[in-house]
Structure 1
Amino acid sequence: MMAAGAAALALPIAAGMVAPTLATAAPTHGPVLRAPAGGFEELMVPSTMGPIKVQVKWASQGGDAALYLLDGLRAKDDRNAWSDPAEGDGPGIFANDNITLVMPVGGQSSFYADWYSPSNTNGQKYTYRWETFLTRELPDFLAGYGVSRTNNAIAGLSMGGSAALALAAYHREQFKHASAFSGYLNISAPGMREAIRIAMLDAGRFNVDSMAAPWSPAWLRMDPFVFAPQLKGLPMYISAASGLPGPYDQPNSAVGVFNTGNAVVLEALSMVNTRAFQARLGQLGIPAHFDFPGAGTHSWRYWHDQLMNARPGILAALNA
């Protein structure tokens, strides 16, 4: 399964995205204090990586709570797929809720981490600093719009799922709830680093060794299985389906059949990782809400449904 997963991770599937370049428009400076009720806006946020586009759906009643939504390995440079009604549709799911959705754009293959160096396999000119951006630069910027630095939740799919748990674990003062959908939650298991290596080379020719050296402290810091003790007391929603085709898997072409096959393998690999993580939390006596649907593949409409299922817990944790 690890070998098949490595191959499938490297292939564009229904959930996949094209290689990004970070937004380069001039950043917005000095926003006035505001929280536009219910509206949608795209902000350019200064960072050490350059200006980053962030799509925002403001809280329906001007509240200060926020949900950060993280994209997958093939994150695009023009939009976060959670903002797309045909994919994650976060704004539709939370349309009437008093919570702001924060959807950063870009970060392909980043795992939303602070990297060791620029990737040396694709000529990257800067070092990824996504943890710094999401936990310091972006919250500071959004505070000027009336968004709380401390009353937040975070959710992500696949790459973004493990990243959501990591960011919540190390920044408990910022995040009160974390959700991981089809995440890879045991990345130090045999074969997983090489599967991730192949996937990252395919998704923008990024080098996993530039992110973190093999089994170094930086690598282990990213592994939910390793940092699990730091999740104690954090409300969590975690899911992975069986990989068996479900209601959203109805390919009508050879390409569709091929993509569905890849999505089957990816989801099965995620399910194995997630089951191991569930056992790990059980050993530690840490509760979490787990959902393992009997059917479903590694694709967006299933993640849309999982975000809908996670919604009540997110709103309750933030009192939104």
Structure 2
Amino acid sequence: MPFLSMPTAAADPPQGGAHITGIEHVNDRWDKVSVYSPAMNQVIVNDVFKAPRSGAPTFYLLPGIDGGDNLDPGGNFAPGAKSWFGMTDIQGFFANKNVNVVSPLGGQFSWWTDWVNDGSKQYQTYMTRELPPVINAQYNTNGRNAVGGLSSTGGTAVDYAVQAPGLFRAVGSYSGLLNPSDNAQQVSLTLMGGGLSADNMWGPAGGPLWVAHDPTKNVGKLKGTAVYAAASTSGGEGAVDRLPEGFGPNITGGLIERIVSDSTRAFADAAAAAGVPVHYVARPEGSHTWGLFESEMQESWNTTIGPALGS
């Protein structure tokens, strides 16, 4: 399982300019758009579900720790299929909604942030400076943006609003880790699963960059941004998980979900103390599965993200 009203701001690309290198039309609404990132000197593939009409806003959805690929032994997933477009009903849910849904692929064990000691991992720069202008131009958007993330990228999605104020009108965390500086050991263990050191991401654990990228420590900077944050308090399996019959107890998923639930509650408490409105949902069941993430995402759209985007 993967672990984890404002004016619109223009997103200015770095010198050199990100650009589209190719578009694969999966169907009349679904494109796979390859975008060159100057910051990382690589091409990122992005799933795009096009709005039915031009001049629509854009909802970005970050992948989990596996970047859309399967990391579980014995699993049978095509590359890029363990993703929002492969594991949830993006096409059905958004069919009649006037919004562009964009989900980048890749970035395994990157936390989708900028790494201080690894130039190949500059995902915050990609998501906040490089990709939005390209999407805006290609799909004739209205420049209004929102972003959501699951598990490891739930906190990252909220952090983007802190790091790039005004770019995202709304953010959503779906069973995400929202206080990483207080959970540095959990983050470190997760990255070690990919053979990486968290010190190369934000420096020594608990240091100033960890605090700077901690949504709970910077919750005051979210004033004016619509925020949704949800997790399951029990970590117990339920119908929402959509697990196969006879799957058995989801022990690992349940443990992770309880960790992110505590983190989400700490974030919500900090927001309440700071007077920052947050749509916080403590769900009774769910064990860190795609079924749970999808349900949280859909709820976030109906309650928080869609209204903030005017859709």
TM-score by length of 2: 0.83
> Structure 1 residues 184 and 147, CA, compared in 2 at 3 Å: closer, same or farther?
farther
User: What count of residue pairs does the alignment treat as equivalent?
Assistant: 278
Secondary structure at the aligned position of 1:226 is classed as: coil
**How far, CA to CA, are the matches of 1:252 and 1:319 in structure 2?**
40
1:53-111, Cα deviation, whole Å (9 max, x unpaired): 01100112223310000111122354261111xx2332322111110011000111212
Structure 1 equivalent of residue 168 of structure 2: 175
Which letter maps to 1:206? L
Secondary structure at the aligned position of 1:96 is classed as: coil
Structure 2 equivalent of residue 70 of structure 1: 62
The yes-or-no answer on 1:201 pairing with 2:172 is no
Secondary structure at the aligned position of 2:216 is classed as: helix
> Structure 1 residues 74 and 44, CA, compared in 2 at 3 Å: closer, same or farther?
same
1:188-237, Cα deviation, whole Å (9 max, x unpaired): 22xx21221111111x2121111011222221121111111101121111
Contact 1:153–1:314 (8 Å) recurs in 2: yes
Secondary structure at the aligned position of 2:146 is classed as: strand
1:97-112 aligned at under 5 Å gives the runs: 97-112=97-112
Secondary structure at the aligned position of 1:43 is classed as: strand
Which letter maps to 1:218? L
Q: Determine which structure has the larger strand proportion and give its number.
A: 2
> Structure 1 residues 38 and 100, CA, compared in 2 at 3 Å: closer, same or farther?
farther
Structure 1 equivalent of residue 84 of structure 2: 82
Structure 2 equivalent of residue 318 of structure 1: 309
1:271-291, Cα deviation, whole Å (9 max, x unpaired): 111111111011101111111
Secondary structure at the aligned position of 1:223 is classed as: coil
The yes-or-no answer on 1:132 pairing with 2:125 is yes
**How far, CA to CA, are the matches of 1:111 and 1:228 in structure 2?**
19
How big is the shift at 1:29?
4.6
Secondary structure at the aligned position of 2:253 is classed as: helix
How big is the shift at 1:127?
2.7
Contact 1:151–1:176 (8 Å) recurs in 2: yes
Secondary structure at the aligned position of 2:161 is classed as: helix
**How far, CA to CA, are the matches of 1:147 and 1:67 in structure 2?**
14
How big is the shift at 1:251?
5.9
Structure 2 equivalent of residue 268 of structure 1: 258
TM-score by length of 1: 0.81
Equivalent of 1:279 in 265, 269, 272: 269
Structure 1 equivalent of residue 155 of structure 2: 162
Structure 2 equivalent of residue 240 of structure 1: 231
**How far, CA to CA, are the matches of 1:148 and 1:227 in structure 2?**
30
The yes-or-no answer on 1:297 pairing with 2:287 is yes
Contact 2:253–2:289 (8 Å) recurs in 1: yes
Secondary structure at the aligned position of 1:46 is classed as: strand
1:160-207, Cα deviation, whole Å (9 max, x unpaired): 110110002222321001110101111122xx21221111111x2121
* Percent of matched pairs sharing the same residue: 28
Secondary structure at the aligned position of 2:217 is classed as: helix
The yes-or-no answer on 1:188 pairing with 2:181 is yes
The yes-or-no answer on 1:46 pairing with 2:36 is yes
Structure 1 equivalent of residue 15 of structure 2: none
Contact 2:174–2:229 (8 Å) recurs in 1: yes
**Structure 1 unaligned spans of 5+:** 1-12, 18-26, 32-36, 119-125
Contact 2:20–2:134 (8 Å) recurs in 1: no
**How far, CA to CA, are the matches of 1:220 and 1:140 in structure 2?**
29
Contact 1:38–1:61 (8 Å) recurs in 2: no
How big is the shift at 1:38?
6.5
Contact 1:110–1:128 (8 Å) recurs in 2: yes
1:97-128, Cα deviation, whole Å (9 max, x unpaired): 1100110001112121110112xxxxxxx431
**Structure 2 unaligned spans of 5+:** 5-18, 70-78
Secondary structure at the aligned position of 1:198 is classed as: helix
How big is the shift at 1:249?
6.2
Which letter maps to 1:315? G
